[in-house]
């Protein structure tokens, strides 16, 4: 019996639309509640250093306004650690963050920052937060994530999705094999395995098929699709594809 696969819905880009006009709408909390009703298992929100989408007040509102777990995506900075320890979300996903990037472009270099990240993650884990490292499939990064005390890794599926849409199917399939090997290796080390970035209806199935993966975090595509069909139906359809792939 395969383990269930959770869907975390990332609502960052509801805030992107709101901020584009400096208005009070659309409200990310309303989107989160709708996602919850449509069957999301968790809500993900990334408070970036430059607050380009989610803002501090959104985190306050999400923390008290939803009944499903909140996954707080953040860079490994002292400011974000303080905010996480104040809010105590269910989970924190540590991501690399460069001011100039459009989205989270690459995985975190955990192996290259071992001692700082060990010190960084410790207080979060002690506070009862599930800490996840957003990394590529490199075995050295997976081992380093286990070594620093993270309980979870989130595998970066962005390159796999980009290769699919670029029509480079040989590279895409090689990337998929590497992600599969990474998921199996992380699982063998006792890490819980999540995946996310760039996933769409077209790309979700081979990722959802991997039995070690316990959670997918999906945002941009669902918010995009919501423009045409509404957020609830977009989430319901994504869930259906995930469940079908899982068998
Ligand atoms: N997981 C992580 C760690 C991310 O940084 C993001 C983007 O914020 C996502 C998942 C969701 O990616 P997308 O919005 O492309 O679905």
Q: Find the CATH number of the domain harbouring 232.
A: 3.20.20.70
State the closest ligand 1 atom to the C-alpha of 197, by its place in the atom list counted from 1: 12
- pLDDT tens per residue across span 56-71: 999 999 999 999 999 9
Please give the C-alpha separations between residue 6 and each of 62, 185, 240, 246, in angstroms, as whole numbers.
19, 20, 12, 11
Number of domains in the chain: 1
User: Is residue 1, in this structure, part of any structural domain at all?
Assistant: no
Residue 58 lies in a domain: yes
Q: Residues marked as binding for 1-deoxy-D-xylulose 5-phosphate? A: 12-13, 48, 53, 103
Q: What angle do CA 160, 162, 163 make, to 5 degrees?
A: 65
Burial class (CB in 10 A: 0-12, 13-18, 19+), 202: exposed
Q: What is the pLDDT of residues 83-116, one digit of tens each?
A: 999 999 999 999 997 755 656 667 899 999 999 9
197 is known as an active-site residue: yes
Bridge partners (DSSP) of residue 46 are 73
Question: Has this prediction a pTM greater than 0.85?
Answer: yes
Query: 226 lies in a domain?
Result: yes
Which range marks the domain in which residue 13 is found?
Answer: 6-246
What is the best residue among 217, 220, 225 to mutate for testing ligand 1's pocket, by most ligand atoms within 8 Å of CB? 217
CB-ligand 1 contact for 156 (6 Å cutoff): no
Q: What percent of the chain has pLDDT over 90?
A: 94
228 domain residue, yes or no = yes
| Cβ-based neighbour number of residue 190 at 10 Å | 8
Domain-embedded: residue 141: yes
Give 157-172 pLDDT, tens digit per residue.
999 999 999 999 999 9
Question: Pick from 212, 211, 210: which is nearest to 192 by CA?
Answer: 212
């Amino acid at each position: 019996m395969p383990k269930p696969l959770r869907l975390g819905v990332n609502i960052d880009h509801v805030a992107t639309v709101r901020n584009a006009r400096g208005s009070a709408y659309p409200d990310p909390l309303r989107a989160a509640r709708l996602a919850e009703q449509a069957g999301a298992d968790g809500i993900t929100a990334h408070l970036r250093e430059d607050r380009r989408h989610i803002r501090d007040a959104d985190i306050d509102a999400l923390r008290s306004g939803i009944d499903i777990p909140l996954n707080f995506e953040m860079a490994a900075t002292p400011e974000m650690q303080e905010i996480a320890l104040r809010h105590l979300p269910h989970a924190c996903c540590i991501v690399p963050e460069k001011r100039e990037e459009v989205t989270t472009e690459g995985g975190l270099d955990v192996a290259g920052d071992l001692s700082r990240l060990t010190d960084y993650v410790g207080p979060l884990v002690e506070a009862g937060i599930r800490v996840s490292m957003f990394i590529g499939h490199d075995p050295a990064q997976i081992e380093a994530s286990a070594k620093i005390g993270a309980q979870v890794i989130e595998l970066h599926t962005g390159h796999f999705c980009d290769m699919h849409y670029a029509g480079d199917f040989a590279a895409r399939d090689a990337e998929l094999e590497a992600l599969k090997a990474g998921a199996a290796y992380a699982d063998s080390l006792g890490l819980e395995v999540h995946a996310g970035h760039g996933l769409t209806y077209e790309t979700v199935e081979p990722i959802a098929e991997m039995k070690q993966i316990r959670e997918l975090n999906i945002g941009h595509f669902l918010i995009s699709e919501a423009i045409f069909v509404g957020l609830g139906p977009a989430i319901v359809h994504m869930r259906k594809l995930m469940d079908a792939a899982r068998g």
